[in-house]
Amino acid sequence: MLKKGKKNRPNLKNRNLVFPLILILGMLYLFTSEMGVLRWYQLKNKREHIQSEINRLIAEEKSLTEELDRLTNDEEYIKKIAQERYQMVKPGEKVFRVIDRRNTDRK
């Protein structure tokens, strides 16, 4: 004889395994998918790095623009640069070179 109550009852062992398995697979997908948490974190860090690079380049551009403006409009600045960078002298000026005796070899 077959019992009617036993036939209609679902298998509880399989049901207890299915939910945790679906939960684990869902969490793995959430972390490793193309738009998952790990990818989002990587993109966030990359965005911050690129933004800091943009800010640095903007500051450098501003500095170079100011330098260009001074080179085109400020004659005293041009003279100073010519003397410092290119060792140019004004007519009638004498140049003295100082030799550091600590760096010369005595034999």
pLDDT in tens, 50-72: 999 999 999 999 999 999 999 99
Band of residue 8 on the pLDDT scale cut at 50, 70, 90:
low
The contacts of residue 83 (CB under 8 Å, 6+ apart) are 89
Residue 1, in any domain of the structure: no
Residue 54, in any domain of the structure: yes
Q: What is the mean pLDDT of the chain?
A: 83
106: DSSP letter: P
Summarize the confidence of residues 26-44 as an average pLDDT.
83
Residue 16 pLDDT: 75
Global confidence as pTM: 0.54
Q: How many domains does the chain have?
A: 1
With CA atoms as reference, report the closest residue to 70 among 61, 59, 81: 81
Tokens 């911050």 found at: 48
Residue 92, in any domain of the structure: no
Length of the chain as a residue count: 107
Residue 65, in any domain of the structure: yes
Please give the residue range of the domain that contains residue 64.
13-86
Q: How far apart are CA 11 and CA 17, in angstroms?
A: 11
With a cut of 70, say whether residue 1 has pLDDT above it: no
